[in-house]
Chains A and B, each alone.
Chain A
Amino acid sequence: MVSEVALTIDLAIIVFSATLAGFVAKQTGQPTIIAYIVAGIVIGPAALGLVEVSELTELLSELGLAFLLFLLGIKMRLEEIQYILSPIVKISIPQMTAVFLAGAGISLALGFTPLESLLIGLAVMYSSTAVVVKMLTDKDEATSLHGKIDVGVLLVQDIVVVIILAVLAAGRPDDVAEVATTLGVVLVLVALVTVAAVAASQTVLPLVFRRIADNKEVFFLVALSWAFLFVFVSDNVNLFLAPLGIEAYLSIEMGAFLAGLAIAQLPYSKELQDRVNPLTDLFVMVFFVSVALDLGTDQLLFYAQEAVIAALVLMPVKFLVFFYLIDWQGFGTETTFLGSINMMQVSEFGIIVAAVAFEGGFIDAEVLGFMTLLAIFTMSVSVYFIEFNHQLFERFEPTLSRWTGDGSFEGGKREYRDHAVVIGYDEVTRNALPILADRYEDVVVVDRTVDHIETLEEEGYDAIYGDFRNATIRKDAAIKKAAFALSSSVQPEVNKALLREVSEDTVVFVEAERIEHATELYDRGAHCVVMPPYFAADRLADYLRAYLEEEAPFEEAIDDDVELLESPEPFPEPADRLGGDLDD
């Protein structure tokens, strides 16, 4: 029998305080991550003590990380990251070694025991996936070159953290061989899951998603189902392996990322980004708020001074290590600078490593508090560096370029400008496409039907699969820079959104079904509102008149129409007789 369930007030408090803090941050120009962390400290046991960690908040913050990585995976097209795979490995391994040494060294100097120092060293090696990926996504830099380097390094770190967690969870390792075995097993598992994901993206997924792509709800939920499958398998991999006598773990973030990666190879991934994004934002918010929910003031502040000192030493060290290594791999000055400055914080994984070490009896609660404070402090500071990374670069560029090698590794995306955007491919717009293709260098068509996208691509048009209501899609079509826009959507909100975003010089054609909609669209600046039912009504009336008065052109006109109906080509060359002989 079911017992009564009241909704816990915790989540409401979290959402509400995060919203308030978020708005304050927005008004004062601070990044929202800081707002969320501060909100967590205020409502958590360290200050007001309103909220404790509950199963629900824990779920949502886990989902937050998982979705964040899933989203990231969706954005990664394999052909776009393949070429930086080798530099990423060459950067991340020495980086972690160097930072480990620095971390352990500074801990020893601050008076921690050798064991504690060793563990602190292991905990500070990683940069924060949550901070970096969230900031990159917010700034729309996740797929830039430095973004890809950072994300790649984070994933390698992720593998390492999983291994270290596995070792720590197993208790004190007996010998180096045991560590090596764990390492081997985890690498094999990661490889297996990657192969499974890539294989699926070549075989099953295109078939499945092609069928469901036209159904918004099913498409979204099946994609989530796919993500959860990977999350579940990664998380329970030790259960599956237990009968074989192997103990191993994978992180759910890794699983989610690979699930996303498989979908990214499909043409429908753009649309999915916009669907997953809001959920991710919501859940990641819960994650950042709950970072500070675990600890009381005593534990958090016991080593406060040491934490600040360690942070002030580690951040520059991390930056320099990254800077040297990325430059060494031949990337340009800007990429090197941005890629390094993004990565100078200590990760939330540092807290998790410390928490597991604490549970295993390796360290005291105060050391855990030290790690938490160190992570929160460095994350908060680094957020500002990431926020203003471009300004910083411009400031220091002259100095920097003296120290860096020549970049041989740059890639740039082609951007649309003065192009034509067509929203919706249908009977109304298909006649217009060849004319536009003659006049404009690029014609971008946005459509939500898979068949249409395939037809368009075969004909050499740039086609974007997705709903124009989504911001990513509008951005991809570069609607703001378009010289010409044509929408065959009859939904006023789509057309109004279009008119809002285009520049003053853009020529805009839209469609409407009702006169008051058309009037409004003209008021908002449309150049031409096409109204098929009215136009067809006029045409039909003309035909009827011709028929009743037994005029000769009638037969001709309807024959022409019928011929047009029969023309099977997707992009007919419109004949000169357009408009018919009966209009006059």
Chain B
Amino acid sequence: MTDLLTAVSIMFIITGPFLLVANRFELPTVPFFVLAGVIVGFFVDPELTLELAQYGIALLVFSFGVDIELSTVRTVLVDSELAAFGQILVVGSLGFGLGLLLGVPPGESIYLGAAAALSSTIVGAALLQREFDTNLVRGRLARSIHFVQDLLAILFVLVLSAATLAVDSVATVVGYGVGLLVAALIVNRYLFDVVGEFAGDSDELMILAVVALLALFVGAAEFAGISIVVGAFAAGLAVRHDPVEYLGLFNGLESIKDFFVAIFFVTIGALVVLPFVELGWTESVEKLLLAGGLVLLTAVVKPAVTTAILISQGYEARTATLTSLNTDQVSEFALIIAIEALLLGLLSQSVFDAIILAAAVTMATSSLSQRYDEQIYRTLADHGLLGSRHEKIDEWSDVPADLSDHVVIVGYGRQGQTLVETCEHLDHPYVVIENDPARRDAVADCDAFVFGDAMERYTWEKANAEDARIVVSTVKSEFVSRRILSFGFDTDLTLRSGDRESALELLDEGALYVSHSDLLAGQQLAKQIRALVDGELTPAELRERQQAELEDRADRLPHIFH
């Protein structure tokens, strides 16, 4: 058995219990890998696993490339979500300034800037899963901010590898980078399916081919003198594909990725020289100061700046705040950038350590701020820190002054839209409450609407809810439902819920009706299956009928609600 196997064994043995803790408290795994790594550092020389860690980096970036949806890139670039750029610029400069202030040379302060500005997609996405699922505005917004940051990080790495060379070769390096990307797109378009055909039904060969492709791109990048990150990213683009035909491939790649990425994060932790334990007092204090500053920038200043930018972009305060709170951690890309710079000798050990420590701390605190985000927002709002929001609501809303006996419809999604149709059909007055900027134009076509947050009392005053006949909320979020209940309107109230338990609770607390889509759909499903089983309907008839219904529905609804 080699030393390397011993090293890898120890890494995994120590990491296991840390993961159990992370899972127990529903925290993101990345900081726990790093923490485990710190312990591993006492037993294992991290130099041993550096090469394996590099494969971890390659696979991490690779899978980012694989998951990119080019259509997303386009929407993000035209959307107001370009806000991400502004935030990176501001926070990045602050990080750079912090470095200079604490006596870090400019060349190294750049990395502090990068660490402060970029936020972690892995952590952010893990924490936001619920918001993605329920299609909330802030889920989408946070996702695109992370996405823009990741792209910038790769660009940064490309420039970083150029920065070590003379100025005139920067163009060459960027040229190589672009060349790799072009090669990737060619592979993706022409070669990939051919390989897939040759591999036939063998997942083993397909996985091997993709790993070979990754090795080839990484090798080409190394040969051209640019970072392997760029090569891995290009390889990811080359493999990007509809997962349906290659389920085995993409599942397999995930296992391989999980294995090597774990080694990468643990190695990062093992590289940290612990303050006080392994270092003298002065050095330790310096390092902690640097790390502390970085934590402050990332966990406090960055969300503040992002909130300000988003509010100025027209998002209302709650969405802006909650979205920003999802970006309050250091990115795994910052870790990659740091380790690359460390290996190239561009970064001193103490700055590297500060970045890693700040990353571990902020990734852990980020899940706390996520857990208490509503409370944080409320505290800020109650202290008037988010500015007055009423003018915006007034400006964007349109409610007839004498509106009464109307239906208040919360949310203008698929359900809200259908409800509006019903009201218009019956010629009954209604008002829509919506807060997604992407839907502002659509909402503006309604007879009456309030463009504001349903969590805010003012929105409801504006909608004249006290005089309404019924309030119908189509928002699945339990938070929103409870808030609406807490206003204590005299009108009838129907809510929506994603699970049975909370639906029952909401009923107990006074809702007239709680709609639970899955339950209703389950009934419909059972009915159809029974019809089939009893022979009332042949499968072909059912298919025909269902398809006709779908076409009818598609004709009725405007495209954005598909």
- A-to-B contact residues, CB < 8 Å: 1-9, 11-12, 15-16, 18-19, 22-23, 26-27, 32, 55-56, 58-59, 62-63, 138, 208, 211-212, 215, 217-218, 220-222, 224-229, 231-232, 235-236, 252, 274-279, 281-282, 285, 426-432, 435-436, 438-439, 467, 469-471, 486, 492-493, 496-497, 500, 507, 509, 511, 514-516, 518-519, 522, 526-541, 543-545, 547-549, 558, 561-562, 564-566, 574, 578-579
| Nearest residue, chain A, Cβ from B55 | A7
CA distance A531 to B525 in the complex (A): 10
Q: Measured between alpha carbons, how far is A278 from B253 in the docked complex, in Å?
A: 7
Residues in A with CB closer than 8 Å to B1 are 62, 235, 252
Candidates A12, A225, A426; contact of B216 at CB < 8 Å: A12
Q: Is B422 an interface residue (CB 8 A)?
A: yes
How distant is the Cα of A547 from the Cα of B55 in the complex, in angstroms? 62
- Check A6–B243 contact: CB distance below 8 A: no
Q: Is the CB of B219 within 8 A of A12?
A: yes
- Collect the chain B residues with CB atoms within 8 Å of residue A562's CB: 507, 513
Name the residue of chain A whose CB is nearest to the CB of B519.
Answer: A427
Interface string of B34-66 (1 = CB under 8 A from A): 000000000000110011101100000000000
Q: State which residues 513-540 of B face A: CB under 8 Å.
A: 513-530, 532-533, 539-540
Q: Does B222 contact A (CB under 8 A)?
A: yes
**Is there a chain A Cβ closer than 8 Å to B156's Cβ?**
no
Check B419 against A540 for contact (C-beta < 8 Å): yes
Q: CB distance B51 to A62 under 8 Å?
A: no
> Is B89 at the interface (CB under 8 A from chain A)?
no
Give the CA-CA distance A428 to B527 in the complex, in Å: 12
Partner of B251, one of A215, A278, A534: A278
- Residues on B with C-beta less than 8 A from A2 are 46-47, 50, 271, 342-343
Using A428-B522, A507-B532, A544-B472 as known contacts, say yes or no to A527 and B543 having CB atoms under 8 A apart: yes
Q: Does B68 contact A (CB under 8 A)?
A: no
Whether the pair A431, B23 counts as a contact (CB closer than 8 A) is: no
Contact of B550 with A218 in the complex, beta carbons under 8 Å: no
Residues B526 and A58 in contact, CB atoms below 8 Å apart: no
> Is B12 in contact with A471, judged by CB distance below 8 angstroms?
no
Distance of A356 from chain B, by nearest CB (Å): 13
* A27 vs B205: C-alpha distance when bound (angstroms): 11
Looking at the assembled complex, report how far the CB atom of A218 sits from the nearest CB atom of chain B, in whole angstroms: 5
Min CB distance B203 to A, Å, is 7
**Interface pairs A-B: 4 shortest CB-CB:** A225-B16, A278-B252, A532-B521, A427-B518
Cβ contacts under 8 Å, B470 to chain A = 544, 547-548
Residues of B within 8 A of A427 (CB): 499-500, 516, 518-519, 521-522
Residue from the list A211, A225, A497, A558 in contact with B24, Cβ < 8 A: A211
**B344 contacts A by Cβ under 8 Å:** yes
CB neighbours (8 Å) of A8 from chain B are: 51
Q: What residue in chain B is nearest A16 (Cβ atoms)? A: B212
* Chain A, residue nearest B1 (CB): A235
Report which of B222, B504, B525, B543 forms a contact with A428, defined as CB distance below 8 A. B525
Question: Given A218-B23, A430-B522, A527-B539, are A565 and B507 neighbors across the interface (CB < 8 Å)?
Answer: yes
Q: Which residue of A lies closest to B221 (CB)?
A: A7
- CB-nearest residue of chain B to A211: B23
Q: Find chain B residues with CB under 8 A from A12 CB.
A: 212, 215-216, 218-219
Contact of B219 with A282 in the complex, beta carbons under 8 Å: no
18 contacts between A and B (CB under 8 A): A5-B50, A5-B51, A7-B54, A23-B209, A58-B4, A59-B4, A217-B258, A221-B258, A225-B12, A235-B9, A278-B253, A278-B256, A282-B211, A427-B518, A509-B525, A527-B539, A536-B496, A562-B513
Q: Which residues of A contact B247 (CB under 8 A)?
A: 469, 471, 493, 497
Q: Across the interface, name the chain B residue whose C-beta is closest to A20.
A: B212
Contact status B255-A26, CB under 8 Å: no
Assembly CA distance A15 to B47 (angstroms):
24
Residues on the A chain within 8 Å of B393, using CB: none
Contact call A541/B533, Cβ cutoff below 8 A:
no
Q: Which residue of B lies closest to A568 (CB)?
A: B500
Find out whether the CB atom of B546 lies under 8 angstroms from the CB atom of A527: yes
Q: Is the pair A578, B513 in contact by a Cβ cutoff of 8 Å?
A: no
Is residue B423 within 8 Å, beta carbon to beta carbon, of the partner chain? Answer: yes
How distant is the Cα of A282 from the Cα of B59 in the complex, in angstroms?
Answer: 14
Once bound together, how far apart are the Cα atoms of A18 and B527, in whole Å?
Answer: 54
Do the beta carbons of B519 and A528 come within 8 Å of each other? Answer: no
In the complex, what residue of chain B is closest to A560 when comparing beta carbons?
Answer: B523
Residue B330 lies at the interface, judged by CB distance under 8 Å to chain A: no
B 191-232 contacts with A by CB, 8 A: 198-200, 202-205, 207-209, 211-212, 215-216, 218-219, 222, 228
Is B529 within 8 A of A435, CB to CB? yes
A224 and B470 CA atoms in complex are apart in Å by 56
B379 adjacent to chain A (CB < 8 Å): no
B517 close to A536 (CB less than 8 A):
yes
Query: A59–B5 contact, CB under 8 A?
Result: yes
**Other CB < 8 Å A-B pairs besides A431-B525, A579-B527, 14 of them?**
A18-B208, A32-B204, A211-B20, A212-B23, A221-B19, A231-B9, A432-B526, A432-B529, A471-B203, A509-B529, A529-B550, A540-B419, A544-B422, A574-B530
| A516–B562 touching, CB < 8 Å | yes
In the complex, the chain A residue whose C-beta lies closest to that of B503 is A565
Tell whether, in the assembled complex, residue A279 and residue B526 are in contact, meaning their CB atoms are under 8 Å apart.
no
- For B550, the chain A residues whose CB sits under 8 A away are 515, 518-519, 522, 529, 531
- Expressed in whole angstroms, the Cα–Cα distance for A7 and B494 within the complex equals 61
A540 touches B474 (CB 8 A): yes
- Does B130 sit at the interface, judged by CB under 8 A? no
Tell yes or no: B426 within 8 A of A by CB. Answer: yes
CB neighbours (8 Å) of B543 from chain A are 522, 526-528
Are the C-beta atoms of B428 and A548 separated by less than 8 Å? yes
Q: For B6, list chain A residues within 8 Å (CB).
A: 232, 235-236
Contacts A23-B205, A281-B208 given; indicate if A535 touches B259 (C-beta within 8 A).
no
Q: Which residues of A contact B504 (CB under 8 A)?
A: 565-566
B19 in contact with A19 (CB, 8 Å): no
Shortest A527–chain B CB gap in Å is: 4
* A496 and B205 form a contact (CB under 8 A): no
Which of A429, A438, A497, A534 has the most chain B CB within a 10 Å cutoff?
A534
Indicate whether B557 reaches chain A with its CB closer than 8 angstroms: yes
Closest residue on chain A to residue B425 by CB atoms:
A545
Q: Separation in Å of the A335 CB from the closest CB of chain B?
A: 27
User: Counting CB contacts under 8 A, is B482 at the interface?
Assistant: no
Q: Is the Cβ of A541 less than 8 Å from the Cβ of B421?
A: yes
Q: Digit string of B410-433 for contact with A (CB within 8 Å is 1, else 0)?
A: 000011011101110110100000
Q: Is the CB of A558 within 8 A of B513?
A: yes
Contact, CB under 8 Å: A232 / B9: yes
The one of B407, B421, B524 in contact with A530, judged by C-beta atoms closer than 8 angstroms, is: B524
User: Given contacts A59-B2, A212-B23, A427-B518, is CB(A528)–CB(B546) below 8 Å?
Assistant: yes
Name the distance in Å between B432's Cβ and chain A's nearest Cβ.
Answer: 13
B446 within 8 A of A: no
Complex contact B523–A574 (CB within 8 A): yes
Q: Is B435 an interface position by the 8 A CB rule?
A: no
B174 contacts partner chain A, Cβ-Cβ < 8 Å: no
Find chain B residues with CB under 8 A from A529 CB. 546, 550
* Cβ-defined partner of A212 (8 Å) among B20, B47, B198, B423: B20
Q: Within the complex, what minimum Cβ distance (angstroms) separates B348 from chain A?
A: 10
Given contacts A278-B253, A282-B256, A516-B562, contact A574 B349 (CB under 8 A): no
**Residue contact B527 to A228, C-beta cutoff 8 Å:** no
